Amino acid sequence: MRPFNYSNAGEPATAIATVSANPGAKFLGGGTNLVDLMKEDVMHPSALVDITRLKLADVAKTATGVTIGGTATNSFTANHELIRKNYPLLSMAILAGASAQIRNMATNGGNLNQRTRCTYFYDVNLPCNKREPGSGCGALKGVNRNHAIFGWSEKCVAVYPSDMAIALAALDAVVHVEGNNNVKRTINFADFHRLPGDTPEKDNNLKPGELILSIELPANDFAERSYYLKIRERSSYAFALVSVAAAMALEGNRIKQVRIALGGVAHKPWRASVAEKWLIGKEATETNFRAAAEVELKNARPLEHNKFKVAMAQKAIARALQGAMQGGEYGLEG
């Protein structure tokens, strides 16, 4: 960690102005990711603007759904009555991530901005285009069992680690942000994170200085049938090898609407749109779930060490859809 300046913002506008004015400045949420990266010398901001005292920590009903604050903690959000009742998928996904202690510190804005866990990214002595553009991708021909099977480029094969965001992708959330001079805009969740392409140093489409004010969850018919399935190397407190956020609305036994998003497989939450399309109007049966999963995974491009993710993701999609059929259950994996 290198010396840095610390300040505490009272108003969003001052926080945004401070960060916009200094390319070396960063917002500080719970610090559970940024501070780790600073300790590893992966990131070395010259200034941190603490935003945890901004009044952006609410979860509230809106005319069209529910909004969750950018600085609300993951724990508060996951356990909020409005979320548990209307968006159990989001609760399940958040609670599948990290540990209780980390979730108590982690903010929603910070969660969306957390960086990849690719260990080449973390080791400053190894090449990594995301950390140091142009230095090469260490993982492409290295140990890449935790890496992407969809949407990667030769420049970067990293996966995006958040669980929460996988649910948000399935729920078609909308991110509200504010930049310098009160410029506000909304970003559809599908457009928030990026594929690596030629610029893996950019994780998402936030502009410098833009602050996440809130995340909006449109109303939906999925509360009864949704499920977050996370496969990992131990029972908790590990990032996903593969995860699936699944949600369904039925008409009789036919699938009226379905959302499937995958985690642990790409540089952004991966909407399984091929499978979704395949399922619409079909009967909600295990055979159909498996068939849909199969067509989605046809497009997978695994790397040397992660071929297992293809079969795993395929089975996980089917299992998550079955979980959704049963209405899901908190904390139940598999």
Partner 1 sequence: MSETGKPISRIDGRLKVTGKATYAAEFNQPTMAYAFPVRATIAKGRITALDDAAVKKEPGVISVVSYKNAPKLKPLDMQAQAKAGAAFLGENLPPLQDNKVYYPGQFIAVVVAESYEQARAAAYKLKVRYAAEKAATDLKTELPNSRKPAKLMGEEAQVNGGKTTAPLAQSAHRVENTYSTPAEHHHPMEPHATVAVWEGADKLTLYDATQGVGLTGAIAAYFLGLQPENVRVIAPFVGGGFGSKGLWLHTLLVAMAAKAAGRPVKLALTRQMMQTNVGHRAATIQRVSLGTDTAGTLTAVRHHTDTYNNLTEFFEPSGKQSLVLYKAPVREVTYGLVKLDRSTPTFMRAPGETPGTFALESAMDEMAYKLKMDPVAFRIANHTAQDPMNGHDFSSEFLVDCYRIGAEKFGWSARSMEPRQKRNGKYLVGYGMATATYPGGRSAATVKVSMTASGDVTVMTASIDIGTGTYTVLAQTAADALGVPVNRIQVKIGDSSLPPAPLAGGSQTTASIHPAALEACVLLRKELTALAIADSSSKLYGRASDEINYTNGNLFIIGDEKKTDAYADIMSRAKRGEMEACATTQPVSGAGLTVPSALCTPREAPAEQNSDDKHYAFHSFGAQFAEVWVDEDLGTIRVKRFTSVQDVGRIMNEKTARSQVIGGVIFGIGAALMEATDYDKRWGSPVVRTLADYHVPVNLDVPPINVHFIGKPDPHISPIGARGIGEIGITGVAAAIANAVFNATGKRLRDLPLTPDKLM
Spatial distance between the Cα atoms of 181 and 179, rounded to a whole number of angstroms: 7
Nearer to ligand SF4, 156 or 262 (CB): 156
Stretch 180-219: interaction string toward ligand SF4, x if CB under 6 A: --------------------x-------------------
Which of 75, 77, 111, 146 touches ligand FAD by CB under 6 A? 111
C-alpha distances (whole Å) from 259 to each of 38, 232, 253, 273, 309 are: 36, 22, 16, 8, 20
User: Stretches 99-107, 186-194, 297-305, 322-330: which one binds ligand FAD (CB under 6 A)?
Assistant: 99-107
The DSSP string of 172-228 is T-EEEEEEGGGEEEEEEHHHHB---TT-TT--BSPPTT-EEEEEEEE--S-TTSEEE
Asked if 42 touches ligand SF4 (CB under 6 A), the answer is no
φ, ψ for residue 50, nearest 5 deg: -75, 120
Distance of closest approach, residue 137 Cβ to ligand SF4, in angstroms: 3
Taking every pair of Cα atoms in the chain, the longest distance, rounded to a whole number of angstroms, is 61
Which of 42, 78, 149, 156 touches ligand SF4 by CB under 6 A? 156
Asked if 330 touches partner 1 (CB under 8 A), the answer is no
Asked if 128 touches ligand SF4 (CB under 6 A), the answer is yes
Asked if 38 touches ligand FAD (CB under 6 A), the answer is no
Asked if 286 touches partner 1 (CB under 8 A), the answer is no
Asked if 241 touches partner 1 (CB under 8 A), the answer is yes
The DSSP string of 84-132 is HHH-HHHHHHHHTSS-HHHHHH-BHHHHHTPPP--HHHH-TTS--TTTS
Q: Which does 129 bind (CB under 5 to 8 A by kind): ligand FAD, ligand SF4, partner 1, none?
A: ligand SF4
The residue whose two tokens read 């979730």 is 103
Which of 97, 209, 264, 323 touches ligand FAD by CB under 6 A? 97
Residue 322's SS3 state is helix
Contacts of 66 (CB under 8 A, 6+ apart): 59, 60, 82, 83, 86, 87, 216, 217, 219
Q: Do residues 261 and 166 make contact, with C-beta atoms less than 8 angstroms apart?
A: yes
Nearer to ligand SF4, 42 or 68 (CB): 42
Binding site for ligand SF4 (CB under 6 A): 116, 118, 120-121, 128-130, 137-139, 156-158, 200
Binding site for ligand FAD (CB under 6 A): 26-34, 36, 51, 70-71, 74, 97-98, 102, 105-107, 109-111, 113-114, 161-164, 211-212, 239
Binding site for partner 1 (CB under 8 A): 1-3, 40-41, 117, 119-120, 122-123, 125-126, 138, 141-143, 145, 229, 231-239, 241, 308-309, 311-312, 315-316, 318-319, 333-334
